[in-house]
């Protein structure tokens, strides 16, 4: 039987890890020269006899001590997370209202961010002419600005609060979306609705300041109203602008139907009435002015604003296949 050779274990030098901890070095009153002699990370078996430079070790430890001071360590140990979720519900609601709402509404304008179409807060002013508006981006006013030169919007919102936890998002998300939101035009409306995704159903109050005209902006009328069909909880849709050129009531209704047919159908199906979208629709009074416009020159009779509005809504309901209400018998 062959003899079995037993390999003896090679003795390894004892390694000390105490000098890794600068606080422990100070506690044990270990001098720096002695600490530098011990190579805490060297291993003859793995480094194949090579040794690290003591000067490099000394510089690394000096950098560690400069970075980790006793005052910084104590401050980190004493830091505690603020128990926001333990606050009373009434107090949390007040914080959500202050952080996520603006009493003057949120005004949004279209912009491009890294080649992505989105929206940004801004103020919109009249600039004359059909469908023309001038925008000014909103910025938080600096302390050096005078009151006369400050933008109209003064409250900075904090929507990042909703990303803290699921509970905060569930409690506060409606404060952000269920307030008046003013869009510069249908182009901004489309960018806004495409950005918020599933939150469209939370919207309750929308105002559009300009109806798109010409080229891409005109096409956005139809595109934005198609996305608007997911906003099934809207309570007010205010088109605070002139819908194209002045026309008669039937022409105005047909223009609204061409651009918003999918919105009216989807909103009506979600709310149990085909004309539910007509009920929440509000138009600027300039659309009901029959005293000007090219159609007035064709000897059409002038109409009062209320009559103009009633005829427009009646035609729109007819296009949506809403049966007229039967008159009560005497």
| Element of type H or E holding 313 | helix 305-319
End-to-end Cα, the chain, rounded Å: 125
Report which of 148, 105, 151 is spatially closest to residue 125, judged by C-alpha positions.
151
Report which of 237, 249, 313, 235 is spatially closest to residue 282, judged by C-alpha positions.
237
Q: Bridge partners of 183?
A: 108, 208
What single-letter DSSP state applies at residue 236? Answer: E
- CB count within 10 Å of CB 80 equals 6
Give me 123's structure tokens: 């103020």
Please give the sequence-ordered ranges of beta strands (E in DSSP) within 240-312, or none if there are none. 281-283
pLDDT score at 123:
83
pLDDT score at 206:
96
What single-letter DSSP state applies at residue 53? Answer: -
Cα separation of 198 and 310, whole Å? 34
pLDDT score at 61:
77
304 touches 285 (CB < 8 A): no
Please give the radius of gyration of the chain, using alpha carbons only, rounded to the nearest integer. 35
Give me 296's structure tokens: 């007035």
Do the bridges between strand 236-239 and strand 281-283 make them parallel or antiparallel, or are there none, so unpaired? parallel
96 touches 171 (CB < 8 A): yes
pLDDT score at 62:
78
Q: Determine the 3-state secondary structure of 232 from DSSP.
A: coil
Give me 55's structure tokens: 């000067």
Do the bridges between strand 106-113 and strand 116-126 make them parallel or antiparallel, or are there none, so unpaired? antiparallel
pLDDT score at 145:
43
pLDDT score at 18:
43
What single-letter DSSP state applies at residue 130? Answer: T
Task: List pLDDT tens digits, range 236-286.
Answer: 999 999 887 767 888 899 999 999 999 999 999 999 999 999 999 999 988
Cα separation of 92 and 83, whole Å? 11
Cα separation of 219 and 222, whole Å? 6
pLDDT score at 56:
74
H helices then E strands: how many in the chain?
A: 12, 7
- CB count within 10 Å of CB 280 equals 16
pLDDT score at 214:
75
pLDDT score at 57:
76
pLDDT in tens, the chain (330 residues): 555 555 555 555 555 544 454 544 444 344 444 444 444 444 444 333 445 567 777 777 777 777 665 555 555 566 777 888 888 999 999 999 999 999 888 999 999 988 888 999 988 876 544 444 555 544 444 444 444 444 444 578 899 999 888 999 999 999 999 999 999 999 999 999 999 999 999 999 999 999 988 777 888 999 999 999 999 999 999 999 988 776 788 889 999 999 999 999 999 999 999 999 999 999 998 888 765 555 554 556 677 888 889 999 999 999 998 877 655 455
Starting at the edge strand found earlier in the chain, the sheet holding 205-208 runs 133-137, 116-126, 106-113, 180-183, 205-208, 236-239, 281-283
Give me 161's structure tokens: 């609060």
Query: Going by C-beta distance under 8 Å and a sequence separation of 6 or more, which residues neighbour residue 139?
Result: 151
pLDDT score at 154:
58
Task: List pLDDT tens digits, range 213-225.
Answer: 877 788 899 999 9
């Amino acid at each position: 039987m062959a003899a079995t050779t037993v390999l003896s274990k090679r003795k390894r030098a004892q390694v000390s890890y105490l000098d890794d901890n600068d606080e422990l070095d100070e506690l044990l009153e270990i001098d720096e020269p002695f600490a530098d002699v011990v190579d805490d990370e060297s291993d003859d078996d793995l480094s194949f006899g090579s040794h690290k430079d003591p000067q490099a070790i000394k510089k690394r430890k000096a950098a560690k001590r400069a970075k980790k001071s006793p005052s910084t360590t104590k401050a980190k140990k004493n830091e505690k997370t603020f128990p926001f979720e333990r606050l009373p519900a009434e107090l949390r609601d007040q914080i959500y209202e202050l952080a996520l709402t603006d009493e003057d509404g949120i005004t949004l304008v279209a912009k491009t961010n890294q080649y992505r179409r989105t929206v940004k807060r801004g103020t919109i002013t009249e600039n004359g002419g059909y469908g023309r508006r001038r925008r000014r981006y909103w910025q938080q006013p600096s302390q050096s600005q005078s009151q006369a030169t400050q933008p109209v919007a003064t409250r900075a919102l904090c929507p990042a609060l909703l990303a803290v936890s699921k509970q905060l998002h569930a409690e506060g998300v409606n404060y952000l979306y269920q307030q008046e939101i003013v869009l510069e035009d249908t182009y901004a409306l489309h960018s806004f609705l495409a950005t918020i995704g599933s939150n469209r159903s939370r919207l309750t109050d929308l105002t559009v300041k300009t109806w798109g005209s010409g080229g891409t902006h005109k096409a956005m009328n139809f595109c934005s109203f198609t996305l608007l069909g997911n906003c099934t909880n809207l309570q007010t849709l205010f088109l605070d602008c002139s819908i194209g050129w002045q026309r008669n009531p039937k022409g105005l209704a047909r223009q609204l139907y061409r651009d918003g047919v999918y919105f009216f159908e989807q909103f009506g199906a979600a709310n149990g009435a085909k004309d539910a979208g007509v009920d929440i629709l509000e138009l600027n009074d300039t659309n009901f002015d029959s005293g000007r416009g090219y159609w007035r020159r064709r000897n059409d009779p002038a109409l009062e604003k209320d009559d103009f509005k009633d005829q427009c809504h009646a035609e729109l309901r007819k296009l949506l296949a809403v049966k007229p209400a039967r008159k009560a018998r005497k």
